[in-house]
A = this chain, B = another copy of it.
Amino acid sequence: MTDRRPSTVKDVAASAGVGIATVSRVFSGTGSVSPATRDRVLAAARALDYRPSALGRGLKLRRSGGIGLIVPDVTDPFCAELVAGVLACARTLGEHVIVDAAGGDPAREAEIVERLAEQRVDGVIAMPAGDEADWRGAARVCSSVVFAGRVLPGPPDVPDVPSVLADDAGGVRAVTEYLAGLGHRRIAFLGAVPGGPPRVRERAFRATLAQLGVPVEEDLVVAARPARDAAYAAAAGLLQRRGDVTAVLAAGHLLGEAAVLVARELDLRVPADVSIAMVDDVAWAELCDPPLTAVARPARDIGYRACELVLREPARRGRGGPVLLPTELVVRGSCGPPRAQRRRRRGNPAD
Q: A residues near B, CB below 8 A?
A: 2, 5-6, 49, 51-56, 58-59, 62, 64, 66, 73-75, 77, 80-81, 83-84, 87, 91, 96-101, 114-120, 140-141, 257, 260-261, 264, 283-284, 286-289
**Given that A62-B5, A77-B75, A287-B288 are known contacts, is A99 also in contact with B83, CB under 8 Å in the complex?**
yes
Cβ contact within 8 Å between A54 and B118: yes
**Given that A54-B119, A96-B119, A287-B288 are known contacts, is A74 also in contact with B84, CB under 8 Å in the complex?**
yes
In the complex, which residues of chain B have a beta carbon less than 8 angstroms from the beta carbon of A288?
284, 287-289
Cβ contact within 8 Å between A120 and B55: yes
Cα–Cα distance between A59 and B56 once the two chains are bound (Å): 6
Cβ contact within 8 Å between B117 and A51: yes
Residue of B nearest to A101 (CB): B87
Cβ contact within 8 Å between B74 and A83: yes
Residue of B nearest to A65 (CB): B119
In the complex, which residues of chain B have a beta carbon less than 8 angstroms from the beta carbon of A54?
64, 118-120
In the complex, which residues of chain B have a beta carbon less than 8 angstroms from the beta carbon of A77?
75, 77
Contacts A51-B114, A55-B55 supplied; 9 other A-B pairs, CB < 8 Å: A80-B80, A84-B101, A87-B100, A96-B115, A98-B99, A284-B287, A287-B288, A288-B289, A289-B289
Among all A-B residue pairs, the 9 with the closest Cβ atoms: A284-B284, A289-B289, A55-B58, A99-B99, A55-B59, A75-B80, A54-B118, A54-B119, A80-B80
- Interchain nearest-CB distance for A104 vs B (Å): 14
In the complex, which residues of chain B have a beta carbon less than 8 angstroms from the beta carbon of A6?
120
- Residue A261 contacts which of B83, B120, B287 (CB distance < 8 angstroms)? B287
Cα–Cα distance between A273 and B158 once the two chains are bound (Å): 61
**Given that A56-B59, A288-B289 are known contacts, is A75 also in contact with B81, CB under 8 Å in the complex?**
yes
Residue of B nearest to A257 (CB): B287
Cα–Cα distance between A257 and B141 once the two chains are bound (Å): 45
- Interchain nearest-CB distance for A17 vs B (Å): 25
**Given that A87-B100, A96-B115 are known contacts, is A74 also in contact with B80, CB under 8 Å in the complex?**
yes
- Interchain nearest-CB distance for A297 vs B (Å): 14
- Residue A74 contacts which of B59, B74, B114, B287 (CB distance < 8 angstroms)? B74
8 contacts across the A-B interface (CB closer than 8 A): A55-B59, A55-B64, A56-B59, A75-B83, A83-B99, A97-B100, A99-B99, A261-B287
In the complex, which residues of chain B have a beta carbon less than 8 angstroms from the beta carbon of A81?
75
